[in-house]
Structure 1
Amino acid sequence: MSAVISFCAGAFLLYWPYLWCMYRKEDPGAYGLRWEFDRRDIMQTLAVSALILSFLTIVAVNWPWDELPRRRGLWEALNLGASGLAAAVIEETFFRGWLQPTFEKKLGPYAAIVVTNLIFAPLHLIAAPRLISLCTFFPGVVMGLLKHRYKNLTPPALFHFIGNVWAIWFFPTSIGF
């Protein structure tokens, strides 16, 4: 039953933004529901990912509570990475591709990033009911800034995927970003 609910939630998050645009007869590109693979954008996103995750790795290695970090083997982490990729694409489509631009129209870009992540972070408590799941707010802000800067979903989804693999490796009781 849980798998069915997860599948339905994922399908909703992935397809709702496009259905919304179709119903309103709006171009999905106006929301930034685009996937572009510009080499420079990807390289900059990888640099941002390395910088932020290097800092978080230091924090994780020295984490004093809840017996964290609990490390997984590389192979297990890579196998779970496929679900991390799916989550990145689905969540970025909904949160950064549709919700953030919707809020931008009323609030401006930076307030929209904050409000979007005030919704994004607590939803992670459903899958991983630990307070550390609320920390997804901070990488969510980075993903929002990446979406705002590059105007497409590839950079935030790439950062999200890398962050999910990192979280699977260091914090296996959490789901990821």
Structure 2
Amino acid sequence: MGWRRLPDTLSQAQLWRHICEEAVEYKQSEPAHASILHSTILSHRSFESSLAFILANKLDSPWCINAVALMALFQQVFREEPDIIDAAVADLLAVHDRDPACDRYSQALLYFKGYHAIQAHRISHRLWRLRRRVLALALQARMSDVRAPEGRCCGCEDA
């Protein structure tokens, strides 16, 4: 891929621990949000599992693929092409570093539509290269429907 990790950035394991710590802090300060934090972050053992869950639930559709099937598909893609997760980690670090509205890593992971759109694009691109083009197009269309990212604004949040 076209990026490289800077030497002073967090590893995937360090980032995941940091995200879990943020979720625990959020849970204590905002109890009404506890169940969402549990289902999206705290019940997962890894960054890739959490990301697969979040994306699958955002893209869940009765006419396309349900969240359970999407999560399994995303986890399979992540296993087959770990560079996708490395890039997702780098993206999260970059958003946190460059977006003044993002003071926690978990904010972008949970709520930033541009971040979600880029990760879904990477998954769709992998499926396209595997000649699973109908599914790749369906995922791209679904992401556009639910998150409506603006291509001209890729890299800045307009939530």
| Shorter-chain TM-score tier | 0.3 to 0.5
Bigger CA radius of gyration: 1
- With normalisation by structure 2, the TM-score equals 0.38
- With normalisation by structure 1, the TM-score equals 0.35
Comparing both chains, which one has the higher relative contact order based on Cα–Cα distances under 8 Å and sequence gaps of 6 or more?
1
